[in-house]
Amino acid sequence: MKSIEIDRNKRLKDEPRKGHNRWHPDVTPVLEVDPGEEVVLETRDASDSQVKPHMTVDDMGGLDTKVAHPLTGPVYVKGAQPGDLLEIEYLDIVAQPRGWTRFRPGSGFLRDIFTEPYLVHWEMSDGWATSPQLPGVRIPDGSFMGTAGIAPSHAQMEEWTRREADLVARGGTAVPPDPEDAVPSGGAIANEGLRTIPPRENCGNVDIKQLTKGSKLFIPVNVDGALYSAGDGHFAQGDGECCITAIEMGATASVRFQLHKGEAQRLGMKMPRFSHSGYFLPPQWAAPRNFIATMGMPIRDDGTQEGEDLTLAARNALINMIDLLQERGWTREQAYIICSVAVDLRISNVVDLPNVTVSAFLPEDIFQG
Amino acid sequence: MKSIEIDRNKRLKDEPRKGHNRWHPDVTPVLEVDPGEEVVLETRDASDSQVKPHMTVDDMGGLDTKVAHPLTGPVYVKGAQPGDLLEIEYLDIVAQPRGWTRFRPGSGFLRDIFTEPYLVHWEMSDGWATSPQLPGVRIPDGSFMGTAGIAPSHAQMEEWTRREADLVARGGTAVPPDPEDAVPSGGAIANEGLRTIPPRENCGNVDIKQLTKGSKLFIPVNVDGALYSAGDGHFAQGDGECCITAIEMGATASVRFQLHKGEAQRLGMKMPRFSHSGYFLPPQWAAPRNFIATMGMPIRDDGTQEGEDLTLAARNALINMIDLLQERGWTREQAYIICSVAVDLRISNVVDLPNVTVSAFLPEDIFQG
Amino acid sequence: MKSIEIDRNKRLKDEPRKGHNRWHPDVTPVLEVDPGEEVVLETRDASDSQVKPHMTVDDMGGLDTKVAHPLTGPVYVKGAQPGDLLEIEYLDIVAQPRGWTRFRPGSGFLRDIFTEPYLVHWEMSDGWATSPQLPGVRIPDGSFMGTAGIAPSHAQMEEWTRREADLVARGGTAVPPDPEDAVPSGGAIANEGLRTIPPRENCGNVDIKQLTKGSKLFIPVNVDGALYSAGDGHFAQGDGECCITAIEMGATASVRFQLHKGEAQRLGMKMPRFSHSGYFLPPQWAAPRNFIATMGMPIRDDGTQEGEDLTLAARNALINMIDLLQERGWTREQAYIICSVAVDLRISNVVDLPNVTVSAFLPEDIFQG
Amino acid sequence: MKSIEIDRNKRLKDEPRKGHNRWHPDVTPVLEVDPGEEVVLETRDASDSQVKPHMTVDDMGGLDTKVAHPLTGPVYVKGAQPGDLLEIEYLDIVAQPRGWTRFRPGSGFLRDIFTEPYLVHWEMSDGWATSPQLPGVRIPDGSFMGTAGIAPSHAQMEEWTRREADLVARGGTAVPPDPEDAVPSGGAIANEGLRTIPPRENCGNVDIKQLTKGSKLFIPVNVDGALYSAGDGHFAQGDGECCITAIEMGATASVRFQLHKGEAQRLGMKMPRFSHSGYFLPPQWAAPRNFIATMGMPIRDDGTQEGEDLTLAARNALINMIDLLQERGWTREQAYIICSVAVDLRISNVVDLPNVTVSAFLPEDIFQG
């Protein structure tokens, strides 16, 4: 089985041939695989292993701040070309034994209220996370990759950089390219590469908690080989991830790719979709069984980037779901009705500025055999 | 067993002693009950029985337009006083055999896109809804009351009227008092009574799909006797109810009240909460098992009413959940962390302007023994 | 919709044109239906309405004893012929509000231990059964028809009568034809008709608790029209029904037939089958969530080891469960009733000789908080 | 964390200080632990690693035949004394990647029908077992320890030996002590030690499939330190384990002990009990969702009616299920294997004399889309 193994005692910058932390089409692939092959990716946590089990909140001041998100990859998928739809099946996601959750001044959904930093450590064993800072709480395993996506094209990278700069110019919040802490360091990738904080059309940091073992993620391919990377493992998270971190951990993801040739172009798909048969989702962990879902972010049809606007994100997730239903042969009006009576709108993240994300979940079981 | 029985061949205006369609503290109670008693309420659909099984979309032009929502009640709960917390347990919710879903110009989340009216009929039997307009679709029974709440005080009625008028003055959308189609007709209730379209602190039209059989709803009492009313049954709905109607139907609700004396005042509770043990929620229908939840609407702390703003609604649901966790002894910081790792933010309705609603669901099972 | 409506204030013998209580090919059909039609059957309880809500165990002495099971029907399914496979889909099963459970000398799995009669009454509302004789217990709705089947052919009736008589001749227990209390009374049906106590190849009293709403039952057809009848509703039952009664009730079953022409003959099928999609089976009830269980092996109380004897293993598991319930403060009689209505007996292993093992599963959720 | 690590390239006889394969009070403990400590036990499969991935059925002739079951342990639980109740919590059970299922002449429930040996290999990854011998079948992870128990006292050992010999004298089947292949070899343990094939009051080989991760097992303590051992991991099994093997594998069990002082004596408990909160039991597996089932009654093929014989009923349900699988194209041998690893035998009724009924439940979801 092919794999990318990392040394978890090292930082990403010490193993730059195993990963990267900026989205850019020119990152060198670590591995080539065929569709249908199983691939195992070992990944680092969102802090690039800087948060250690016995750190206090005061220790956090000296950490490198622009390391997020250390990603393992990219993986070059043979045969993938722009216009294809890449399917990523999550065969397994295995947690490392330690995790943490924190919030910091200036980020998180309630950043005006929570102005002092705070840090919680977790131990994971036997399927539960527990924390000495939260006595009596135990959180069941719902491991997923907070950040996973594929390379943008050069044109996309330029357009997305532009629209986010435009938002900043209008007073909004976004995260421009920045070579500090970039891996690979120096050069075009560090200088031009998109920061991974916001999710975008290439997926990335969507923080969708339903992307657990057993799920399938579908992303329109932008460059030859697709260039899939993953990192930012979450042991568990609420829909929304309100303080901007989940139970953050290193993880090992087993994935398998399939190519749907020309499908993204044929459908005019711009945003990722995902599905889950429900097999490995425990019912306590609360997702509709056997669904397919669309995503929405606060980007207008004319390409304008808006900030922290869940209403626009919900609108876009819903329009994407109506499109999906139309692809299956329903009229727009029927699709709108089906959405109103059966499709759930859930807030996937409310913190990855500017692209807070709403997902629309269609339960497949409403369609008769 | 006490009950309010209606003649479903009649409109609410023909049985004005069984119900009302405006929120007002002076509506005369239909029934008095003790805490612990079971009460059965027969209710009309949101159109006040105007939509008939064989109507076409063209027939809808002539209908009375300001009848929503015909409510059965109010029920006077003996001993209830302002400052108490009223608990309503839904023992059963039974569907009538016919339902409908529609959208109309000027309402619904995508009202700029869907500008032509549309109508779908449903038949409900054996636990499924099917529609000749949506061949091959069947929706399992998830019956709940779209609108259920208690009377506001006079002071609240005046304040809410004022804040909504202020929103309209700023260009927003709200629904001012209007005596047309009001029941009771004429007089102070018709002229001053709050329209039932938006949900508010007295609950009402929250359209929360998890308020099914087995759930418990908690509302701070505003007037003596609380004055509970219910209507607007939904056979099924997606989180969000995007086109502004669900599978609309008449329903029969069996409820039981409990009083938590002085609890709302002691906690400083302003918004309703709800919980569910999960017993009668089929897992396909997708809610966390054994939860307690808070609600948020786009109303600022200083009382300003905002419009269609899911971000503000999510913020308020989250702050209310942090308050709930603090009541249980967690610090604010611990509570925020728990929310980020375990609390789901879901869009309950995105259409009941101006008070679109987000709910925050806390799974009780994360707390050990 | 076609239906057979009964007067529940009358005994079966007072409405002999609506039903029967012996299996015989010559019973006159009450109704004819086409495959695909929905049919509603109102049914009486197993005592033929003799057990009344306020009866005591002493009142039971005077009851007619050979009335079981009053069945509603038969329904003639057009086109059904011997060799076909009849499919019965249970669209809905609705409980009457009162029920009972009892045991009597000479019947039940532990008839040597429980030699005094005992009676418990139940009230069913809002999806739960509760009993003044079992305070603190509530049993969720798992309604199914304890007895439902089709007519045997004349040849089958004769063969089954013969094999059961042979068993009796060898010292075994069976229930020969008996005209006492028979409906229709007198004549060949009363004299020759098979008693309904044992299930046989025509299905009948199989007491399979999974035959709930949503299930499908498949029986090889023996006579033209199949002649389906149903009765003996159970609100809930444990696998095994150890004391010989469940929560016995009148019920209303909605069923739909399909014919698989020649399929039983083609497959050489002699015994019924059944299936369930799981849609309406709540997970707490289809299998117990949150259980405690006991084991039994084929070892006698005096220490004697027996071989491969599941019957003795089941007996011991059950006695151990009764002990467990006694430790919690229930009387032996209460415990036996609880086992009959809620404890599942499942075969854990049938191979580890000599100690084949049966387990008894008690769902803890039946005990109110 | 304390652990017993084994070398899986070695046989038990090559690491006799890590385990044993006979039940005897004098086996030397490998490890001492306190109540409340987590302990990790690595275990061998039931064949003592003799069955290798590429073996054929013909290779099986030369294997040592009396090695079952190689157990890891015993663990001495400090403070445990006769009369206490030992609680074993299964914190985790992790599968090795390879497994097998077989049947052999002279053993298994249908040993008179299946007289030729048969062998199937499994590969386990990502939570599923698949087999080249059963194309299209996948079995979800339901790992548990087939054999786990504690030491008998000397008096128990003698009594159990005697009662089993008595059964043999009456023509029954049992497995007397036998020093061949015993570990430790030679001496009193090999000569007197109880074979582990049958489960007994000390638990052992109960093969109860619900003893998965999250379960708790309670056994009355017989000797100081209790002396807990475990082995015989099963990746999955149907209730009944009809061909006498499950998906047999090496496994790693994480367990934690608690002592309930004097509880077994106080309760007069002689047999083990077990419980499960249901948290880690996927609903598809704890009970089959989406099943098809067959029935069996105690009627012989020649038409003879037998009484109250669950064993014959189970046999017939199983034969009917094998017929059903044959109709779908499986060979009889494949069908028998599928039954052993996935079909649940449950006692439907044990009272409707003479036809007590057993049902066999096949979960349809094991067949890949």
Determine the residue among D245, D347, D361, D365 to mutate to test chain C binding: the one whose Cβ has the most chain C Cβ atoms within 10 Å: D347
At residue B176, the pLDDT reads 94
Contact A286 B285 (CB under 8 A): no
Tell me the residue type at D315.
Answer: R
Chain C residues within an 8 Å CB radius of B140: 279
Contact C280 B282 (CB under 8 A): yes
Q: Is residue A298 assigned to a domain?
A: no
Whose structure tokens read 């929905």?
Answer: C38
The average pLDDT across C352-365 equals: 75
Tell me the residue type at D173.
Answer: T
Task: Return all residues near A362 (Cβ < 8 A) that are at least 6 apart.
Answer: A291, A292, A293, A321, A324, A325, A338, A339, A342, A343
Domain boundary among D285, D303, D333: D285
User: C285 falls in which pLDDT band (50, 70, 90)?
Assistant: very low
The average pLDDT across C121-136 equals: 85
In contact, D235 and D186? CB cutoff 8 Å: no
Q: A198 is written with which tokens?
A: 């916001």
More confident residue, C353 or C75: C75
Distance from CA of A4 to the nearest CA of B (A): 28
User: A282 falls in which pLDDT band (50, 70, 90)?
Assistant: low
Of residues C12, C16, C22, C18, the one with CA closest to residue C31: C18
Whether this prediction's pTM lies above 0.90 is answered by no
More confident residue, D315 or A32: A32
At residue B283, the pLDDT reads 43
At residue D278, the pLDDT reads 61
Chain D residues within an 8 Å CB radius of C353: 173-175, 197-198
Residue-wise pLDDT tens digits, C158-215: 998 988 898 888 887 888 999 999 999 999 999 999 999 988 889 888 887 778 888 8
Q: Is residue A48 assigned to a domain?
A: yes
Of residues A236, A210, A240, A273, the one with CA closest to residue A348: A240
Chain B residues within an 8 Å CB radius of C283: 283
Chain D residues within an 8 Å CB radius of C350: 109, 240-242, 311, 314, 345
More confident residue, D15 or A275: D15
Identify whether residues C343 and C205 lie together within a single domain: no
Identify whether residues D217 and D197 lie together within a single domain: yes
At residue D151, the pLDDT reads 98
User: From the list D164, D239, D293, which residue is nearest C305 (CB)?
Assistant: D164
At residue A283, the pLDDT reads 43
Contact D125 A284 (CB under 8 A): no
At residue A286, the pLDDT reads 44
User: From the list B109, B246, B341, which residue is nearest A237 (CB)?
Assistant: B341
Contact A334 B138 (CB under 8 A): no
Nearest CA in chain B to C256: B126
At residue A84, the pLDDT reads 96
DSSP H or E segment with residue A155:
helix A154-169
Whose structure tokens read 């199989």?
Answer: C206
- Domain containing B168: what range? 2-261
More confident residue, B238 or B234: B234
User: From the list C277, C306, C355, which residue is nearest D200 (CB)?
Assistant: C355
Chain B residues within an 8 Å CB radius of C88: none
Distance (Å, whole) CA C255 – CA C70? 18
Distance (Å, whole) CA A183 – CA A17? 9
Name B230's bridge partners: B72, B148
Task: Return all residues near D32 (Cβ < 8 A) that are at least 6 apart.
Answer: D75, D76, D78, D225
At residue C132, the pLDDT reads 87
More confident residue, D130 or C226: C226
In contact, C127 and B280? CB cutoff 8 Å: yes
At residue C368, the pLDDT reads 57
Chain A residues within an 8 Å CB radius of B120: 334, 337
At residue A257, the pLDDT reads 97
SS3 assignment, position A333: helix
At residue B210, the pLDDT reads 82
The average pLDDT across A174-185 equals: 95
Of residues C109, C118, C173, C172, the one with CA closest to residue C315: C109
Q: What is the DSSP string of A170-185?
A: TT--------TT-SS-
CA dihedral A66, A68, A72, A73 (to 10 degrees): -70
Distance (Å, whole) CA A3 – CA A95? 16
Q: What is the DSSP letter of C194?
A: B
Strand bridging mode C291-296 / D273-276:
antiparallel
User: B199 falls in which pLDDT band (50, 70, 90)?
Assistant: confident
pLDDT of B279 over the 80 cut: no
Contact C127 B92 (CB under 8 A): yes
Chains in contact with C, where contact requires at least 3 CB pairs less than 8 Å apart: B, D
Mean pLDDT estimate for chain B: 89
Strand bridging mode B31-33 / B71-77:
parallel
At residue A284, the pLDDT reads 46
Of residues C42, C44, C35, the one with CA closest to residue C3: C42
Distance (Å, whole) CA C229 – CA C252? 12
Contact C92 B126 (CB under 8 A): yes
Nearest CA in chain B to A129: B366
Q: A45 is written with which tokens?
A: 């946590």
In contact, D276 and D216? CB cutoff 8 Å: yes
pLDDT of A126 over the 80 cut: yes
Q: Is the peptide bond before A154 cis (omega within 30 degrees of 0)?
A: no
At residue C288, the pLDDT reads 45
User: From the list B38, B126, B213, which residue is nearest C91 (CB)?
Assistant: B126
In contact, B355 and B298? CB cutoff 8 Å: yes
In contact, B247 and B98? CB cutoff 8 Å: no
User: From the list A110, A133, A239, which residue is nearest B336 (CB)?
Assistant: A110
| Least reliable range by pLDDT among A254-268, C34-48, D69-83, D332-346 | D332-346
Please list the pLDDT of chain D residue by residue as tens digits (369 residues): 899 999 999 999 999 999 999 999 999 999 999 999 999 999 999 999 999 999 998 998 889 999 999 999 999 999 999 999 999 999 999 999 999 988 888 887 778 877 888 888 989 988 888 888 877 777 778 898 999 999 999 999 999 898 889 888 888 788 899 999 999 999 999 999 999 998 888 988 888 777 888 888 889 999 999 999 999 999 887 777 877 888 899 999 999 999 999 999 988 877 777 777 666 655 444 454 556 778 778 888 887 888 778 898 888 888 888 888 888 888 878 888 877 776 778 787 777 777 778 877 776 766 754
In contact, D93 and D253? CB cutoff 8 Å: yes
At residue D170, the pLDDT reads 85
Contact B213 C127 (CB under 8 A): yes
Domain boundary among D285, D309, D334: D285
Chain A residues within an 8 Å CB radius of D143: none
Percent of chain B with pLDDT over 70: 95
pLDDT of B286 over the 50 cut: no
Crossing angle (nearest 10°) for helices A310-327 and B310-327: 110
At residue A192, the pLDDT reads 97
Distance from CA of C146 to the nearest CA of D (A): 11
Based on DSSP, count helices (H) and strands (E) in chain D, helices before strands: 6, 20
Residue-wise pLDDT tens digits, B107-131: 888 888 888 898 989 999 888 888 8
Of residues B13, B107, B16, the one with CA closest to residue B64: B13
Q: Residue D29 belongs to a domain with what CATH number?
A: 2.60.120.580
Residue-wise pLDDT tens digits, B143-190: 999 999 999 999 999 999 998 999 999 898 889 999 999 999 999 999
Distance from CA of C61 to the nearest CA of B (A): 33
Task: Return all residues near D317 (Cβ < 8 A) that are at least 6 apart.
Answer: D294, D295, D296, D345, D358, D359, D360
User: C363 falls in which pLDDT band (50, 70, 90)?
Assistant: low
At residue B290, the pLDDT reads 67
Q: C352 is written with which tokens?
A: 């580890």
Q: What is the DSSP string of B35-67?
A: TT-EEEEEE--TTTT-S-TT--GGGGGGS-SS-
Identify whether residues D315 and D249 lie together within a single domain: no
Contact C127 B38 (CB under 8 A): no
Determine the residue among B237, B340, B362 to mutate to test chain A binding: the one whose Cβ has the most chain A Cβ atoms within 10 Å: B340
Q: Residue C344 belongs to a domain with what CATH number?
A: 3.10.28.20
Contact A126 D213 (CB under 8 A): yes
Phi-psi group of D197: left, alpha or beta (phi > 0 → left; psi -120 to 50 → alpha; rest → beta): alpha
The average pLDDT across B221-231 equals: 98
Q: Return the top range by mean pLDDT from A140-144, A225-229, B201-205, C54-58.
A: A225-229
Count: domains in chain D: 2
User: From the list A127, A213, A283, which residue is nearest D213 (CB)?
Assistant: A127
pLDDT of A288 over the 50 cut: yes
Chains in contact with D, where contact requires at least 3 CB pairs less than 8 Å apart: A, C
Contact D355 C276 (CB under 8 A): no
Identify whether residues C30 and C101 lie together within a single domain: yes
Distance from CA of C310 to the nearest CA of D (A): 5
At residue D283, the pLDDT reads 42
Residue-wise pLDDT tens digits, B4-46: 999 999 999 999 999 999 999 999 999 999 999 999 999 999 9
At residue C286, the pLDDT reads 45
Residue B7: Cβ within 10 Å count: 11
Identify whether residues D26 and D175 lie together within a single domain: yes
Contact B238 A283 (CB under 8 A): no
| Least reliable range by pLDDT among A356-360, C4-8, C137-141, D290-294 | D290-294
Phi, psi of B367, rounded to the nearest 5 degrees:
-95, 125
In contact, D212 and D143? CB cutoff 8 Å: yes
